Every structure is written in C-alpha cells, then in structure tokens.
Amino acid sequence: MPDGSARRTGIALTERQRIAWLRLIRSDNVGPATFRDLINHCGSAENALSMLPELSARGGAARAIRIASVQEAERELDAAHRYGARFVGIGEPDYPPALRQIEGAPPLLAMKGDLSAATRPSVGVVGSRNASISGAKFAAMIARDCGRAGYTVTSGLARGVDTAAHRASLETGTIAVLAGGLDQPYPPENLPLLDEITEGAGLAVSEMPFGWEPRARDFPRRNRLIAGISLGVVVVEAAERSGSLITARMATDFGRLVFAVPGSPLDPRCHGTNGLLKQGAIVTTGSADVIEALAPLSQLDLFSGSVVEEPKKFSDILPPNDDDRAIIVSALGPTPVEVDDIIRHTELPASSVYLILLELDLAGRLHRHVGGLVSLAMED
C-alpha cells in the first residue's frame, strides 16, 4: 500500500517565467517536444521567444512565425484565476511526477481542485463509453478499492466506464483529464460530476487553452496524459478500435503496467480487452490483481529525482551553414526516421543536426512522431 504522502519535488516558476512559458507553448509550431528543445538550446523561455523569428527563418519558414503576446498570456492566466484554476509547470512541485518522464510531457498543465491528488501514486481506469451494467460496476469496484488502497484514480471524464471510475473515487481522490480547455468539459452532462471532483478531493487537468472546444484529434492527446500520470492503466471494456486501446498502447510505450478485464467473446465491447490479454496484459478479475501488481512500484520513489528547470546558461552552438542544412533536408523524406540515423547518415555533428531539426520544426517543415522519429513535412 502506498504511504499516501505527496511526493512534491521541484522548483517553482516565477510569475515572469510562467508568462514566458505560456507565451512560448502557445506560439505557432511549438509543441511540448519543441518547447523542451528550445529551452535546452536558448537557456530560457524568454530567450527562446526572442530567437523564434531567427530560428524559423533559418529553417525556411514561408512567413513570419506567430508569437503569443504578453497580453494573450495574461488574459489566459486571468481566465484561469477566474475559473479557480492555475497553471503548473513541469518542474514545479505540484506537477504529476510520473508524467514528467514521458516523451512530450506538457510544459504547463492547467489544474483545478486538490493539487495534492496530482502528486500521489495513480492508477488509470478507462473503458467503453457504452459500458454494460457489469462493466460499469466492475470499474467502480476497481476504482473504489484502489482509492482505499491509497491511489488516485485517473480517467477521461467520458461516459460509461470513466464516469463510473470517477464517481467511485470521489472521496479518495480522482483526476479528470480533459481533451479541451478546463472550461470546456466534454460531455456536457458530466459537468456536475466535474464540479464534484474539483470541489472535493479530486482534480481536473488540461494542457489545452481556456476556451478550447475538444475535437476528435484532441482525445488521443488526452489519453497520453492519462497513461503518463498513472503507474498502470486498467482497461475494463474496449472495442477493437477505441480510445481505451490507444491509452493502453501509450501506457506500454511509457513502461507502465496494463491490466485488462476479460469478457465474453460475443460482446464487441470486450474484443479489445481480450486482444490486450493476448498481447500480454495482466489478467484482471478483481481489485487485488491491480493493487498487488502496483505495490512494488508505488513503494519506490521512482520519479522524485526528475526535476526540470531552465538551464543556467545559453547554448553557444554556432548557427549551421546552408550546406549542412541542405544535407539534412535532402536526407529526410516522408518516412519517419530516428535522429541517430540522420547523424550517422550525414556524418554531421549531433549538435548541428539537432539545431537544424529545431529550425525546420519551427518553420513548419518537420513532423515529429511517437518515439522521437522525425520526417519532412510535404508541401501541399
């Protein structure tokens, strides 16, 4: 059983840094991985903001890159304050420690509710939106028992299994991960449930801007946060092509445990979970299967040493020349490749390769893929 104490490590951002971080992540062509590379290269978000025009121009941008203004960042911070939320940076004590470890972890999370829920060991519980009665009851049992064992229960606020898991862990602590902005929960009928979560022992989190209405492509982004926050993910019911299987796959990629509840081969809602079992997921027929498997992980302080902060000095790497840039562009294509393969193929210094890829990324000429792979963005 986890000790239940919050594992709070990190360094708080100053308000000036928070505004700069928010401006940077809200600027064009800057995602979580690009944000990290910019901080590492430029030394701070403020330096990165000043260098964005030059870096994107060197990458061949067709037009000037849009940089979020101070006023835009301040308006979003004000919106968060009015909503009773705050932005937490990846290096700050209230950021979920396990989430820091994943590829493409959000630099900033909007959070509302009991922030201590974010720093306790967590188990994800996901499944079908069209859950059966028995599936919803089983999800509630798992969530309730895991909560009593000291775990925060993380899910996506969807209908069905997600709703059952959240409701069963309201008293012990649950995290609702939203696909849209914190002020745009989906589905709308779960707004009362979200209020219960944030007004009690739970927490709502989102990486999206306030006012952002969720779209189909935003839900896989949300699913990666569920997987990243959790030590393990329990899949109760899932069809063969479902968001729950995306969450399970991401959990596997992140080195998390995946639990699957077996179901009838005649029920399409169980085809996905039965498939996970064939792929090696942990057979789950009761709460003890989850709690016992997670116990060794929850006793270890696996993520306490992972603190992210701005580097102490500015990178002194010289800008690459046009010939090197042309070599990189010619080596890339629409097929994703590893950066190490680019370095070996071109025989250019690693520092130059990473900087050129950053330039191309900011210019909108590079695609980043899961696993750190990159490809050239093909022109329309």
pLDDT in tens, 291-342: 999 998 876 555 554 445 666 555 566 788 889 999 999 999 999 999 999 9
Contact 174, 143 (CB under 8 A): yes
Q: What is the structure's pLDDT at 330?
A: 94
Q: What is the structure's pLDDT at 154?
A: 98
The residue behind tokens 């059952």 is 164
Residues of the chain with pLDDT under 70: 1, 3-8, 299-317, 379-380
Q: What is the structure's pLDDT at 315?
A: 57
CB-count exposure of residue 319 (10 Å: 0-12, 13-18, 19+): middle
Each residue of 77-113: pLDDT tens digit? 999 999 999 999 999 999 999 999 998 999 999 999 9
Identify any residues that bridge with 110 across adjacent strands, giving them in sequence order: 87, 206
Q: Using only the alpha carbons of the chain, give its radius of gyration.
A: 21
Distance in angstroms (rounded) separating the CA atoms of residues 298 and 293: 10
Dihedral over alpha carbons 61, 19, 105, 198 (to 10 degrees): -140
Instruction: Give the contacts of 286 (CB within 8 A, at least 6 positions apart).
Output: none
Q: Identify residue 165 by its one-letter amino acid code.
A: A
Burial 49-65 (b: 16+ CB within 10 A, else e): bebbeebbebbebeeeb
Q: What is the structure's pLDDT at 379?
A: 65
Q: What is the structure's pLDDT at 127?
A: 97
- What is the CA 37 to chain-centroid distance, rounded? 17
Identify any residues that bridge with 175 across adjacent strands, giving them in sequence order: 154, 203
Task: Provide the pairing of β-strand 86-89 with 108-113.
Answer: antiparallel
Q: How many helical (H) and strand (E) elements, i.e. helices and strands, does the chain have?
A: 14, 11
Distance in angstroms (rounded) separating the CA atoms of residues 325 and 79: 42
32-42 vs 350-362: helix crossing angle, rounded to 10: 130
Q: What is the structure's pLDDT at 378?
A: 74
Distance in angstroms (rounded) separating the CA atoms of residues 339 and 377: 15
Residue 41 backbone phi and psi in degrees, to 5: -80, -40
Q: What is the structure's pLDDT at 304?
A: 52
Q: What is the structure's pLDDT at 34?
A: 95
Q: What is the structure's pLDDT at 3?
A: 59
Q: What is the structure's pLDDT at 207?
A: 98
Contact 244, 234 (CB under 8 A): no
Q: What is the structure's pLDDT at 320?
A: 85
Q: Where are the beta strands (DSSP E) in 114-237?
A: 122-126, 152-155, 174-177, 203-206, 232-235
Q: What is the structure's pLDDT at 306?
A: 47
Instruction: Give the contacts of 344 (CB within 8 A, at least 6 positions apart).
Output: none
Contact 226, 234 (CB under 8 A): no
